[in-house]
Structure 1
Amino acid sequence: MKNMKTVMMAVTFAVGALAAGCQTTANLPAPVSQPITSDVLQAYNWQLVDAKRSNGDQITQLFFDPAKPLTLNFMSDNGRDYMAFMNTCNNMSAGYSVVNGDVQIKNGISTMMACPEPQASFDTAATATVQGKYSLSKNAKNVPILTIKNDNQVAYFKAVSK
């Protein structure tokens, strides 16, 4: 009888702890999606924090130098919106527009320096990374996160002050 009472107390405690844990996670806010506008994109620089292929493998070409991550700088000049790539070997930029919340990249330009490896692969991977569906959310620390997803990969950029 004493063993049965101990077992019942243990089960009661375990169920109570499980329920308390569920209530805690149920009260956490879900990631909040935000509309994409040029103003939001231009408010920050966007530093790459993760990029994975559709099979889950990291895109290693984008992480060869952790001290110089791919960073996107959206800006406007004389009414023209464009994005500059930071930390690439070549100077690279592209025009962009936001149409109904979708970012459209166009007219990419680049210097044509003969970059050695791994910088050449970094530049190529950077160009592929900005093509796709853009979305904005905030992480658990309330930092804006820009996600770019296409059929081949997904990349996450955190907002950093300009």
Structure 2
Amino acid sequence: MKNMTKIIMASTLAISALAAGCQTTPGSTTPSTQPITSDILQAHNWQLVDAKRSNGEKVSQLFYDPAKPLTLNFMEVDGNNLVSFMNTCNNIAASYEVVNGDVQLGHGRSTMMACPEPQASFDTATLATVDGKYSLGKNANNVPVLTITNANQVVQFKAVAKTQ
């Protein structure tokens, strides 16, 4: 009986060790290896790849047109940091600062076009999505991934080349 107990315990430990080593999924991100700076944010555009509510449900309003994903464009304009939200119905932008590695957005500015559904919901979801704690990691393909977490959702953007 003692030998059986030892075998079961050894098997349990071996399986636990294997499981701990295999917890990375292909789309997962690794912990941040560098602090977030304006230079890092401005080096790429950031294209939405995933958005889930706290209950795990997909934020469907952000995915109504897969050909035109929400994309963040961080830039400097006349010495001021600005982020514009690409592929929205209205032109939406906000000032931002990076303070001690935390991204702080100013008030969002938007044109006031009467957008039809589902574009109107996309615009509303966009502003709710970018408010939160920003962190930087990399996916399984070593592509930078910007994650924004707030009380309601977790959203991930992959780095893509800047467009002109």
| Band the TM-score falls in, shorter-chain normalisation | 0.7 to 0.9
C-alpha deviation, 1:107, in angstroms:
2.5
Give the equivalent residue in structure 1 for 2:48: 48
Give the equivalent residue in structure 2 for 1:31: 30
Runs of 4+ in 1 over 6 A off after TM superposition: none
Stretch of structure 1 that moved more, 54-63 or 31-40: 31-40
* Structure 2 residue 65 is the aligned partner of structure 1 residue 65: yes
Give the equivalent residue in structure 1 for 2:104: 104
The SS at the match of 2:41 is: helix
Percent of pairs identical after alignment? 67
Give the equivalent residue in structure 2 for 1:6: none
Give the equivalent residue in structure 2 for 1:161: 161
C-alpha deviation, 1:25, in angstroms:
3.3
Count of paired positions: 144
Q: What is the correspondence of 1:140-159 to structure 2 with a 5 Å cutoff?
A: 140-159=140-159
Residue-by-residue CA offset, 1:61-81 (whole Å, 9 max, x unaligned): 000000000000000011100
The one of 8, 17, 22 equivalent to 2:18 is 22
Residue-by-residue CA offset, 1:40-76 (whole Å, 9 max, x unaligned): 0000000000001111100000000000000000000
Distance verdict in 2 for CA 1:23–1:63, change over 3 Å: closer
C-alpha deviation, 1:23, in angstroms:
9.6
* Structure 2 residue 124 is the aligned partner of structure 1 residue 124: yes
Q: What stretches of structure 1 of length at least 5 have no aligned partner? A: 1-10
Matched residues in 2 for 1:89 and 1:54: separation? 26
Matched residues in 1 for 2:119 and 2:97: separation? 28
Distance verdict in 2 for CA 1:116–1:23, change over 3 Å: closer
Residue-by-residue CA offset, 1:105-153 (whole Å, 9 max, x unaligned): 0021000000000000000000000000000001111000000000001
* Structure 2 residue 76 is the aligned partner of structure 1 residue 76: yes
Distance verdict in 2 for CA 1:117–1:77, change over 3 Å: same
- Computing the radius of gyration from Cα coordinates, the structure with the larger value is 1
Matched residues in 1 for 2:31 and 2:110: separation? 35
Matched residues in 2 for 1:159 and 1:46: separation? 5
The alignment's C-alpha RMSD in Å is 2.0
Q: What stretches of structure 2 of length at least 5 have no aligned partner? A: 1-6
Q: TM-score, normalised by structure 1?
A: 0.83
